[in-house]
Amino acid sequence: MVTKNTQKIGILADTHGSLPQGAYAALANCDYLVHAGDIGAQHVIDELETIAPVTAVLGNCDYPEYVTQTGSVATWAQFEKSGVCFLIAHKPKDLMATLRSKGILQSVASAPECVGIHGHTHRAHIQKTGRLTVLCPGSPTHPREGDKPSVAVVTVEDGSVKDTELIEL
């Protein structure tokens, strides 16, 4: 019998101190959560942790005293879920610099699949190139340029990204 290791990773950014009920509801069935910075208040992390464990990074409007149940919040983070690598930084340029420094931007067929996540722009987008997916979930509180409030969910399974969804709230 083959057992699949499937997990849903909920992603949000740029909450700036509030977590709308729609964002909470959209992420409620996730196994793990990522906040890509500009958290705005500790209670946002605390509320998210009632859903699932959280990895968060600091944004340009944040303070270093924010913590998750697993420790302090830094300027970038990396973890693995179901064999997929996740790298998070608030600003797109910082994410790209981290991806470059770790050699992830090189197209190596044997490299693990990776998801790079950033916030800061408040504009939702997904770009997939080879084994790398770069995404910004937009903002559930302050979208820009006519975008709707949004979050994202990435489904990973046995070393692959199976689905990436932007959810308008």
Percent helix, percent strand, percent coil in the chain, to nearest 5: 15, 35, 50
Residue 15 makes CB contacts below 8 A (sequence gap 6+) with 23, 35, 38, 39, 40, 44, 139, 140, 141
Is residue 1, in this structure, part of any structural domain at all?
no
Is residue 85, in this structure, part of any structural domain at all?
yes
List the domain range (segments joined by +) for residue 153.
6-168
The predicted model scores a pTM of 0.94
169 residues of the chain, pLDDT tens digit each: 445 789 999 999 999 999 999 999 999 999 999 999 999 999 999 999 999 999 999 999 998 889 888 888 999 999 999 999 999 999 999 999 988 888 777 665 667 899 999 999 999 999 998 889 999 999 999 999 999 999 999 999 999 999 999 999 9
Is residue 144, in this structure, part of any structural domain at all?
yes
Residue 107: the pLDDT is 61
Instruction: Indicate the number of domains in the chain.
Output: 1
Residue 96: the pLDDT is 92
Is residue 92, in this structure, part of any structural domain at all?
yes
Beta strand pairing call for 32-35 and 76-81? unpaired
Residue 1: the pLDDT is 46
Assigned token pair, 40: 């705005």
* CATH number of the domain encompassing residue 96: 3.60.21.10
